[in-house]
Structure 1
Amino acid sequence: MIVSHRHKVIFVKTLKSAGTSIELALAHHCGPDDIVTPIFPAIPAHAPRNWRGWFAPWREVRSRQDLRKNIVECLRRDRIYNHIPARFARARLPAQIWDSYLKVCVERNPWDKTLSHFHMFRNAAWHRRHDPGLTLDGYLENRIFCHNAPFYCDADGAPIVDRILRYDRLEEELATLFSELGLPFDGLPQAKSGLRTDRRPYREVFDPRQTRIIAEAFAHEITLHGWEY
């Protein structure tokens, strides 16, 4: 996540949506007082700052799990972190900042995102040690899904960010955003690569049953954004 006081923008990082590349592009323009969270694994050119601190762990609590999570993060002073859901960030930032800054995230077609997420699980070294033979059917049966709505919605499933950029139009929409912020945009830096060797589009990979499983799993996101297969 990035909270730029200099440019009055908050970037909420979602999964499998070029989030790290966008963080790197925005962090380059952040000032010394802005919040820039760490990236894992660390990237040498990325300089995290101002993300640690105390906060009231009872805010935005809707369950015992929320409370336990908040208490652990408070004790670690992890006030704002890389993939923090927007509703928790809202509770930990001053209200005048959250209410007045432009809050932005990116969402991706669920079938496209699911295929990318599967390749990450199958090819990442940290996962190959645990399940080296993971298949697409096994991934779907285990419901290892990449849901982003919890990152930009409240506990009731309603979006609480101002703008949700589309991954399939990302370069165009980022260029518009950067222009509005008065920043130059020369494209995104390459942050992560090498996890996917099969570059076929999702329409050439999923059979009808797999397509239906994904549609059912991402029904909320599909309703929110009108995604189509």
Structure 2
Amino acid sequence: METPVLQAININKYFLDPVRFRVLKDISFSIGRGSFVSITGKSGCGKSTLLYILSTMDTDYEGELFLDNEALQEKDNAALALVRNQKIGFVFQFHYLIEEFNVLKNVMLPAMKLGKFSNEMIEQKAMQHLKTLGIYDQALKNASQLSGGQKQRVAIARALINDPLIIMGDEPTGNLDKKNSDIVFGIFKEICLENKQTTLVVTHDPDFAKRADRIIQMEDGKILL
């Protein structure tokens, strides 16, 4: 059996507000390479909290977490930052582009930070991703000049620049109309099929969720399905 790309074992999370409150309850699941998985559930069920733990941005939890067969729960912040930059691509509801930079520079930034390739090679990769996503002609425009749908495609190109093992999305279509939501869904689906990259998306949109390969349904901090 193929080793899972991502594996969570008995993840528990507590908030202090003002008393200790359990938000995630014994979460366990694994995700295989190249699969497209959606996490869905009502607002407040814990799905975004879970994603922030899976993405290593929240380290205050109980349980075990493995990415690419590597245990993450004992790593320090510097080691986790390296894991995030090398192995995880992020797409959020808000694109978080640097508005005064052009599209090309926004896409290149994570790879420039990683420092594995020359800027010339990074630029070539970035332009190829922009071409694949249909926004090649926008490369030299400032991010502030783009529409919402275009900005989200730039955010996806940026998430792909370091060839991550897994793409994680937190409500990536939350600010988009149906047409652009369908475009973004199609992009994620193609990433899985063509590149064998795993995609994990938190969404409250049932139409988006049901088109994924697998749905993880959450309620009151627990997985139902």
TM-score (norm 1): 0.28
> Which structure is higher in RCO with an 8 Å CA cutoff and minimum separation 6?
2
Task: Please report the TM-score for the alignment, with normalisation by the length of structure 2.
Answer: 0.28
Higher strand share: 2
